[in-house]
Structure formats: structure tokens, C-alpha cells
Chains A and B, each alone.
Chain A
Amino acid sequence: DAKTTQPNSMESNEEEPVHLPCNHSTISGTDYIHWYRQLPSQGPEYVIHGLTSNVNNRMASLAIAEDRKSSTLILHRATLRDAAVYYCILIADYKLSFGAGTTVTVRA
């Protein structure tokens, strides 16, 4: 199964952008890249996903490298409510594999 690698933690100041990297060097052509986040004491929630092209939604942007071996989740203006664990996962077939994720801390 293709795996992802993320930094353990990142810090940001409120109102500043946050760029969360994810490496997935063994990605296959049919793997979708999904991002979820988990707020304290809650279940994970969907953030964004993509296959090859960059994607934008109201929560974030997803930039996918041309070779698809890495991607970056961009939170354009971090707020205190964005403090969470962010998971980058690859989805192929029917199994989902989450890693340990990146813990994002936002300073006021």
C-alpha cells in the first residue's frame, strides 16, 4: 500500500498562511490524495481531495506536484480554530490508511 510521510508538527501565527507538506513517493496513478483534520476530542473531518490538478474549496487549497509524489495543503489564513491534527491519506481500492498526521498549533 502506498504510504504518506508528514512532519510531526508545525506552528503558525494567527492570520498567517500554513503550508502542510505530504510526501507520497510510491503513489500510483489511481490513488486519490485526501486530507482530513481532527479537532481536539472530535472525529476526523474532511478537508479537501484531489487527483492531479490543484484544488480549492472554502476551507483550504491543495497543491499537487506535477509528478504527484508530494502535495501541500494550504490554509490561507490560520485561525485558532484551525489547530488540529491534519492527515494526508491516499485512497485506492477500498482501504483507507491514515498516518500519524501533522499537529498544527496556531499562536494568537
Chain B
Amino acid sequence: EAQVTQNPRYLITVTGKKLTVTCSQNMNHEYMSWYRQDPGLGLRQIYYSMNVEVTDKGDVPEGYKVSRKEKRNFPLILESPSPNQTSLYFCASSSSPLDTQYFGPGTRLTVL
């Protein structure tokens, strides 16, 4: 089954404790991206990647890092999480930015 998976689905952590949210897709997609969703603000793009080793900032990259060492994986790294990063996070993949984006199920992160 073609899908985008994210782990963990739910995470409660404390300020300053580094964490990684994994994203994996099995569709051989070139383009992957991360979004955060907050009430009233819709989805905002954090980072995107056009291909392996090629990443770039979206609209709200501050406080986040990403890497793309393999085509199928695109982890989101929070080196020092803060409470304002409490949000619902979605990973997405597609053949290109202009093609259908396939979204993962979301990761709900709470930073205390």
C-alpha cells in the first residue's frame, strides 16, 4: 500500500530535550516536505526537499532541522524544543511540488 508514515504519532516532551520525528514514504517520491498546523493558521510549510541531499526552508523554518540522506526518509529534528513548537505536524511527499501531495497521518507534539 502506497503511504507516508510518521512516528511517533503522539509525543509529550520537555523544553530543551532534542527530538526527532521520522517520516518515510514508499512511493519513490522525489519531493518531501514538513508542515505544522496550528488553530486558525492552516498548514505552514517548515522545510521541503527536492531530492536526496537537497533541502530548503519553507515559511517557518526557525527552530527546526531536516536531513535527506535517503530518498524515502525525511526526518524532522528539533534540537531544543520550546513550548511554541507545540503543534500538529504533517509530512508529505509527491513526485514534484506540482503533483498530488500525499500526507502522513500527523504527529501531535506537546512541549512542556
Contact = CB atoms under 8 A, between A and B. Distances in A.
Nearest to A44: B103
A94 B48 contact: yes
Q: Main SS of the interface on chain A?
A: loop
Nearest to A8: B40
B48 A98 contact: no
A34 B98 CA distance: 9
Nearest to A93: B97
Interface residues of B, number: 26
A43 B106 contact: yes
Interface residues of A, number: 18
B43 A44 contact: yes
B98 A32 contact: yes
Interface string B94-108: 000110111111100
Interface in B21-47: 31, 33, 35, 40-45
25 contacts: A32-B98, A42-B105, A42-B106, A43-B90, A43-B105, A43-B106, A44-B43, A46-B101, A46-B102, A87-B43, A91-B98, A94-B31, A94-B97, A95-B97, A96-B48, A96-B97, A96-B101, A97-B44, A97-B45, A97-B59, A98-B35, A98-B42, A98-B44, A98-B45, A101-B42
Given A91-B98, A96-B101, A98-B43, 6 more contacts: A36-B101, A43-B4, A43-B105, A45-B103, A95-B59, A97-B59
